[in-house]
Structure 1
Amino acid sequence: MSVRSRKTLLTAVALAGGLTLAAVAPALAGTGTSHTTRAAAVSSQGDPRNVTQHVADFYGAYIDAVWSTDDKSAGDADKALRAFYLSAAAQKNVAAFEKKEHADGILFAQNVPVKWKVTSAGSGAGHATSRVTLTWSDGPHAEVTTIDVQSDVKTLKITGLKPVR
């Protein structure tokens, strides 16, 4: 075999090996069992006039704030979010629940969910109801709870929260 043929063969083998490694490496990177943050391809958009979107924005920001216990800048974020998104009456009801139950009155729990989803559950008489689904762990048998969130259609303020039994 000539030197040129060997170089061509070695180049082809090296190129094929490199391409195979490039194709397999991303798949192998996600196979570990560590609890590190995993980036996902998520696309999001919003409409500040949409009541359900407003509730989704609140729950997303609120969960981020209470999840970030090691971030000192998140300390007062949950209070600011409540003040912005909840009506005065809803804030009082949440505070009363928290005093009585010693649990978070937005999540109706003492811990923080790992996932959340918000869907429209209907509207009428100037109010809209959004159904918030909270997932508390990963895996096939994860606990899921739901909350009905009532909002004023005109102001978009959350006026009531009720766990669904």
Structure 2
Amino acid sequence: MDWHQTIFELIDMRSFSNLWFWIALAVMWSTASHWVLGVPWDIVLRARREGGQFETDFEDLVRIYTGRLLYIARVSGLWLLGFACFFLTLLGMLGFLYGFEFGQALFLLGFPMAIVGALSLNTARLIRERGEHGEALYRRLHRHRIIVQVIGMVSIFVTALWGMFQNLAVGPFG
């Protein structure tokens, strides 16, 4: 028996039974929760607590990242939306219609993040339109972060249920 076969028997390379998939899922959602519209959450907390230059830097960062998101949406938003819909449809069909487990795993990673992307774009638009700063800006970003965390919890729950179902249905030697 060669060493490749031994490794593949020892480490299951399917998506939902692979430890790396679950690590990637956890890192993806913790990162999405920490970086609110591109601004690290610790900067938001420090600006709210200490004010002064920290608050000025925070509002500048929000202005920069909000402008960046809105510029990308204005310049190439339709193309990005088209490609995202194409790839999510492709992954959904490959995964759930044709039973390709890797497609299911990528769809369960990508679809909730597409929702977070749309939410981020809407939050950036609201901040720009209303000219929010100070306490209103803190509340807006806090609300955005809570919604992202709820989406993440639901996504992890659904992915875990589907992954357990796949692992039980396929069995240990798939």
Please, what TM-score do these two structures have when normalized by structure 1?
0.25
RCO comparison, higher one (Cα < 8 Å, 6+): 2
Larger of the two Rg values belongs to structure = 1
Higher-strand-fraction structure: 1
